[in-house]
A = this chain, B = another copy of it.
Amino acid sequence: MEKLKEYVSVKDEDHFYHQGAVELLIFNFLLILTILTIWLFKNHRFRFLHETGGAMLYGLVMGLIIRYVTKSPDVESGTVYECEKLKSGPSTLLINITNQVYEYQYKREISHHNVNGHQGNTMLQKMTFDPSIFFNILLPPIIFHAGYSLKKRHFFRNLGSILTYAFLGTAISCIVIGLIMYGFVKAMVHIGQLKQWEFHFTDCLFFGSLMSATDPVTVLAIFHELNVDTDLYTLLFGESVLNDAVAIVLTHSISIYSPKENPNAFDAAAFFQSVGNFLGIFAGSFAMGSSYAVVTALISFMHLTKFTKLCEFPMLETGLFFLLSWSAFLSAEAAGLTGIVAVLFCGVTQAHYTYNNLSADSKMRTKQLFEFMNFLAENVIFCYMGLALFTFQNHIFNPLFIFGALVAVFVARASNIYPLSFLLNLGRKQKIPRTFQHMMMFSGLRGAIAFALAIRDTDSQPKQMMFTTALLVVFFTVWVCGGGTTAMLTWLQIRSVLVGVDPDEDLKARAASQSAPNLDKNTTKAESAWLFRIWYGFDHKYLKPLLTHAGPPLTSTLPEWCNPVARILTSPRAYGDQLKDGDTVYIINNDELTENYESSAHIAVPAQDSTASTQATGKEDIQEGDLGLGGYKLQIQHAAGQPQENSLA
């Protein structure tokens, strides 16, 4: 008898260890299918369904199968046990069942109305993974990759507009969605679909903030493929990257906004506390992310005399880079800040400083590693979204609410893009044309972040309704807007390979315009505000020399009395570089410049009139080499040391 029990327990244990294998296998299978589909699509130049849309579709089908094929729930499921002795829920519960002690781990608190039969179907349950996995494992590589692959020159040239769309635009979008949804909720209460007390205005704002996170990954992939106008690409990419960060912090701030008495009344103190929270969390996360990146830059830059440089061990270098970037995320989370924001700015800073110190091998390794992780994480999330429609057990479908959300999302996008573009155009020399505005309006897709924010909390009924609605909005925008991108580009006549742009001709035009690179001096000058000029000066004079091998030696930029310190801190390479490049290289670094020169004669220069700007060629190097920034007249000279014209004011 004893032996038999032992045998059974071993068998149980076996089952326990194989747990997880089946679920992971399902995801692997879906991802493999997705990859094969992408391959097929690439062969047929089929652009109506992006890989993420495909992944979502496969997830949906798999969810349907799991839902209706796996065995029905156990008899015991849904039974709630009483325990008088327990006063609160401990994190670990030891329970004595027929003289055998079992250990149970606290999972979550559930509302009474969620206790239903499906709770017990283990397969459905296992396929629903912990939301913290999204935040700790899947999102960081995606966000880091976005920051790391930001096209710095175009990004900084449009920084003002991007910040306006990201901060002001997201706030507008949040409020507009909140107001419209509140109207719909009132209407639903009126026709008796909803009880008033279930849905406060703060809930509507919460929904507004999570639905404000745009994720045009599908659109950007198509832009990249079709060589769509770089400025449009940058505006959209920059906006969506920063907007995620804003939406996440906004959601967090709203969720802890708690007026003391009537939840519907406006409480000024609580409101300002929320605004303070927002600013504090944002600034703290920014500081945390950047400082980790600076530490990485310093370590990778270290040139102690007795030490071999770290870059001679590419594996260690990549490892350190990866671990420190992830630590930025984890430290921010552990400190109660927002890890996603930290990892985003960590990525941007790493790309700006650390990247320049890496060995050529590590540059490629890190880029490929993050690209790969981004690819996997993105497709896992979209697969999971498809799955969630059928495997999530507490959906609340409310047609009116869903319809309201779709309306709200589009109205909010419109009241974000059009008014802000109008305002921005008042100040911009190079206007944002109407067609770009329409395209940006159309590209307001919702994706991974909105989903992750919605799935974070699905305990109460309003939150469940929000989750269901958010999921459907994601489906709708990804399939409809994502699928219609090419059609829209053609219809709006936006410069791309589809609309009258021959990539070869374009390159020729750029090569030709190389002889007159100073024409756009006025346009760029107007856009670089004094703030950024100061920042660039500081960055160039102090940070770049301190953290990278580029820039002038600190001995020449710091006051004379700092010389002893400056000499220690300056890379020996900086002195050599100074002779070659002088002060012209502000944002791009020497390595990239030299590389560009050696690899291609087509150094891209800004286009000659203000409407026809440069194209997204898909070649990062050309775009990075594209100068013309910050009010300085830049003239690229061959690195071999020709006399340089330098109009630094």
List A residues at the B interface (Cβ < 8 Å).
3, 6-7, 9-11, 13-14, 16-22, 24-25, 28-29, 31-32, 35-36, 38-39, 42-43, 74, 76-83, 85-98, 100-112, 115, 119-120, 122, 125, 131-132, 135-136, 255-256, 258-260, 263, 299, 306-308, 310, 313, 315-316, 318-320, 322-324, 326-327, 330-331, 333-334, 336, 339, 365, 368-369, 371-372, 375-376, 456-457
What are 16 A-B residue pairs whose CB atoms fall within 8 Å in the complex?
A: A3-B260, A10-B256, A13-B457, A17-B132, A21-B334, A24-B136, A25-B334, A28-B326, A35-B319, A81-B94, A83-B83, A91-B120, A94-B110, A94-B115, A102-B109, A105-B105
Contact, CB under 8 Å: A104 / B101: no
**How many monomers of this protein are in the complex?**
2
A454 → B minimal CB distance (Å): 14
Interface centre among A103, A125, A456 (most CB of B within 10 A): A103
Knowing A77-B92, A307-B43, A315-B375 touch, does A28 contact B120 (C-beta < 8 A)? no
Minimal beta-carbon separation of A176 from chain B (angstroms) = 25
Pairwise interchain contact A39-B313, C-beta atoms closer than 8 A:
yes
Chain B residues contacting A79 (CB-CB under 8 Å) are 94
| B31:A132 contact, CB within 8 angstroms | no
Contacts of A131 in B (CB 8 A): 17
Check A120 against B95 for contact (C-beta < 8 Å).
no
Chain B nearest CB from A260 CB (Å) reads 7
Q: A25 near B95 (CB under 8 angstroms)?
A: no
Q: A80-B101, A91-B122, A102-B108 are in contact. Are A339 and B21 (CB under 8 A)?
A: yes
- Are A82 and B96 closer than 8 Å at their CB atoms? yes
- Taking a contact as CB atoms closer than 8 A, the residue among B14, B21, B365 that contacts A330 in the complex is B21
Q: A230: shortest Cβ distance to chain B, in Å?
A: 22
14 new A-B contacts, CB < 8 A, other than A105-B105, A318-B372, are A3-B259, A29-B327, A36-B320, A76-B90, A79-B94, A82-B95, A83-B95, A86-B95, A87-B97, A89-B95, A101-B115, A102-B109, A103-B109, A319-B375
Q: If the complex has contacts A25-B331, A97-B83, A327-B28, are A90 and B111 also in contact, measured as CB distance less than 8 A?
A: no
> Does the CB pair B336–A14 fall under 8 Å?
yes
Please tell me if the beta carbons of B108 and A80 are within 8 angstroms of each other in the complex: no
Docked-complex contact B315 and A17, CB < 8 angstroms: no
Q: How far is the CA of A28 from the CA of B328 in the complex (A)?
A: 10
Contact B81 A93 (CB under 8 A): yes
Residue from A35, A98, A108, A318 with most neighbouring chain B CB atoms (10 Å): A35
Pick the residue among B7, B108, B457 that contacts A256 (CB under 8 A). Answer: B7
Asked whether, in the complex, the Cβ of B456 is within 8 Å of the Cβ of A17, the reply is: yes
Specify which of B22, B107, B256, B263 is in contact with A104 (CB 8 Å cutoff): B107
Task: Give chain B residues whose Cβ lies under 8 Å from the Cβ of A35.
Answer: 316, 319-320, 323
A89 x B102 contact (CB < 8 A):
yes
Distance between Cα atoms of A74 and B92 in the complex (Å): 11
In the complex, which residue of chain B has the Cβ closest to the Cβ of A256? Answer: B10
Most buried by B among A21, A96, A108, A306: A21
Name the residue on B nearest A126 (C-beta): B91
A95 touches B81 (CB 8 A): yes
Contacts of A96 in B (CB 8 A): 80-83
Residues of B within 8 A of A136 (CB): 20-21, 24
A81 to chain B, nearest CB (A): 5
Tell me the minimal C-beta distance from A503 to chain B in angstroms: 18
